[in-house]
Amino acid sequence: MTGPTPHTQAHERSAGAPLRAAGAPLLSVHDLRVEFGTRAGIIRAVDGVSFDVRPGETLAILGESGSGKSVTSQAIMGIVPKPAGRVTGGQIRYRGADLLSRPPGEVRKLRGTEISMVFQDPLSSLNPVFRIGYQIGEMFRRHRGYSRRDARDAAVELMERVGIPAARERVDDFPHQFSGGMRQRIMIAIALALDPALLIADEPTTALDVTVQAQIMRLLARLQREEGMSMILITHDLGVVADVADRVLMMYAGRVVETGDIREVYDHSAHPYTNGLMASIPDLDHPSDRLTPISGSPPNLLDLPSGCSFRPRCPHARQLCADDDPGLYHVGQRPVSHLAACHFAEEVTADVRERI
């Protein structure tokens, strides 16, 4: 982070920057670091990630496998797999209080009640040997002290709300008796049982049939609107993000490489990685075009290159990129909320404009 770079000077806020709802963020992650010990060495899965989530907004975290997006969400939930993984630094402030410095018992009480999570694969995320009524009802029994009977009734009600047909008949069924989409609805019912203020959805549609993916996303969007909750949507599907997210956070090799409002980042992407992802979206207007993949392979976290981690795959890479690790900077000429970790962000956005 030393030496002058093409954009160290601060830019004033451009006139067109969207105004954001005032007030404190619901969740504020600052300089989060998570490491995993493996046989081959220590992996920095999350390496200095910072972002805010405001009340009622949807933040999308995008990135390929191993970019640290899921580990970030596990860290927020306090469920980083132990003993291999551990949070080594940073702060996770929820309603102002740092979750990392509070006793585990207190943080546990927030899980499911304030912050909930929906996982990628609903089949492995539901317990195969318990009836779903039990698994949903557990939220009411353990957190709210409901009786078994009341918890079961509450479970039926929730199942109806997330669109599971014949809920009363199916409440005593087991997970394997449901389809993938229905299982994910059950997971969503569990997550939303106690009206959390923040929902973390970790690739909620990846394991599902394409036909039900849209249904699940619509359901999540509807429930979010009804509850007024915030959502962190983790995905690698840019198409999904465009419809539901307010802001986006691009991650690569454990770091944030670009962030900003969704339209801003889509239309004026300032990091070559974001650019590459955009280019690899199939264009339905020209379905015969070949897709343009990002060259090279995902980074080896055990052996990251010097300077910028994306350098080996980057068409813009120069000597500066090898010498100096670009921090996350405001992209010149763009709204203040648009940040990118690239020495040549302005050049990249200029390219994008030309392309359009």
Partner 1 sequence: MGAYVARRLFFALFVLWGAVSVIFLVLRLVPGDPAVVLLGPDANPDQIAALRARMGLDQPIIVQYGIYMRDVVQLDFGDSFRFHTDAMDHVLAHLPNSAQLAVTSVCLALLVGFPLGIIAALKANTVVDRVISVFSLATQSLPNFWVGIVLILVFARGLQVLPSYGQGSWQHLVLPSVTLALPFLAILVRLTRSGLLEVIHEGYVQTARAKGLRERAVIFPHALRNALIPVITVVGLQFGALLGGTVIVETVFAWPGVGRVLIESISHRDYGVVQAAILLIAAAFVVTNLVVDLLYGYLDPRVRLAG
User: Contact positions toward partner 1, by CB under 8 A?
Assistant: 77, 79, 81, 83, 108-113, 116-117, 119, 121, 124-130, 138-139, 142-143, 174, 176, 187, 190
**Which contiguous run of DSSP H or E holds residue 45?**
strand 41-53
How many CB atoms are located within 10 Å of the residue 161 CB?
18
- Smallest gap, in angstroms, from Cβ of residue 214 to partner 1? 24
Q: Report the nearest approach of partner 1 to the CB of residue 84 (Å).
A: 9
Residue with tokens 């994910």: 184
202 close to 116: Cβ distance less than 8 angstroms? no
Name 185's Cβ contacts closer than 8 Å, sequence gap at least 6.
159, 162, 163, 164, 216, 219
When the beta carbons of 81 and 296 are compared against partner 1, the nearer one is 81
Determine the Cα angle at 255 with ends 241 and 257, to 5°: 60
Strand pairing partners for 29?
Answer: 51, 92
With contact defined as beta carbons under 8 Å apart, do 254 and 304 qualify?
no
- Give the nearest distance from C-beta 92 to partner 1 in angstroms: 15
Cβ contact 294:280 at 8 Å: yes
The least CB distance from residue 111 to partner 1, in Å, is 3
SS3 category, 30: strand
* Number of Cβ within a 10 Å radius of residue 145: 9
Between 81 and 282, name the residue whose CB sits nearer to partner 1: 81
Minimum distance, C-beta of residue 137 to partner 1, in the bound complex (Å):
11
Identity of the residue, 101 or 124, whose beta carbon is nearer to partner 1 in the bound complex: 124
CB atoms within 10 A of CB 40: 10
CA distance 62 to 18: 22
Least distance in Å: CB of 268 to partner 1? 36
* Closest approach of partner 1 to the CB of residue 220, in Å: 16
Nearer to partner 1, 126 or 167 (CB): 126
CA distance 200 to 33: 19
- For residue 48, the minimal CB distance to partner 1 (Å) is 25
Give the rounded distance of the alpha carbon of 48 from its chain centre.
16
Asked if residue 212 lies in contact with residue 218, where contact means CB atoms within 8 angstroms, the answer is no
* Closest CB to partner 1 among residues 49, 118: 118
CB nearer to partner 1: pick between 194 and 322: 194
Locate 262 and state its tokens: 């969704």
Nearer to partner 1, 199 or 321 (CB): 199
- For partner 1, give the closer residue by CB, 37 or 296: 37
